[in-house]
Structures are given as C-alpha cells and as structure tokens.
C-alpha cells in the first residue's frame, strides 16, 4: 500500500509511459521547461546537452570570440542554467543559447 508521499514520488509519466519518479505528470527526462532554444523546447533529458551561449552584442554569431560553449545543468521558469568552466550553472536566457 503506497502512502501519499510515495505515490507522489513514483508514477506513470504521461509522456514516455514509463513508471519512474515523476514531478507532476512527467518524469525527470520528459519534464518540460516551457523554454525554447532555436524553437525546440528544453526538457529534462536535455540536461548535459552541449549549448553555445551567444552574448547580445554578438548578434547571433556563434563564432564570435565572446560566444561560449557549455552544457545545460538545469532550468527554471525563466532561465536555463549552463555550466561553462565552473561546476556551477550560470543563468542564461534561452534566446542567447543555440544547440551544440
């Protein structure tokens, strides 16, 4: 018999239909961020994916010397956190990021 607490932690993901630890209706991999990089929504499974940060003054040029490559570490409602050279993610606006 599951207690309420246990039933909140494990459930059927509404996206991949796998019995996993869920947050709301989604497992940690399918968890949507509501944030889009180049038109593709960032989801839990994208954590650790490589992205490139392009500062505003580079005008979208990923080869600009100030563009920086890192990996997604987490996200919240507003920011995608990207690990660059340090182990801690830095808050980035999704419009400043491209995949790869």
Which residue ranges make up the site for Zn ion (CB under 5 A)?
13, 15-16, 27, 30
Which is nearer to Zn ion, 31 or 54 (by Cβ)? 31
We find the least distance from the C-beta atom of residue 19 to Zn ion, in angstroms, to be 10
We find the least distance from the C-beta atom of residue 21 to Zn ion, in angstroms, to be 10
We find the least distance from the C-beta atom of residue 52 to Zn ion, in angstroms, to be 27
93-97 CB contacts, 8 Å cutoff, 24+ apart: 94/35, 94/36, 94/37, 94/42, 96/53, 96/54, 96/55, 96/56, 97/37, 97/51, 97/52, 97/53, 97/54
Which is nearer to Zn ion, 15 or 68 (by Cβ)? 15
The CA distance from 85 to 32, in Å, is 26
Which is nearer to Zn ion, 27 or 97 (by Cβ)? 27
């Amino acid at each position: 018999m599951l207690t309420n607490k246990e039933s909140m932690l494990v459930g059927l993901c509404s996206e991949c239909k796998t019995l996993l630890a869920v947050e709301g209706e989604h497992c940690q991999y399918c968890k949507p961020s509501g944030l889009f990089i180049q038109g593709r929504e960032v989801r839990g499974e994208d954590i650790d994916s490589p992205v490139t940060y392009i500062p505003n003054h580079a005008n979208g040029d990923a080869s600009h010397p100030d563009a920086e490559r890192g990996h997604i570490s987490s996200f919240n409602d507003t920011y995608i956190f990207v690990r660059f050279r340090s182990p801690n993610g830095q808050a980035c606006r999704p419009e400043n990021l491209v995949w790869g």
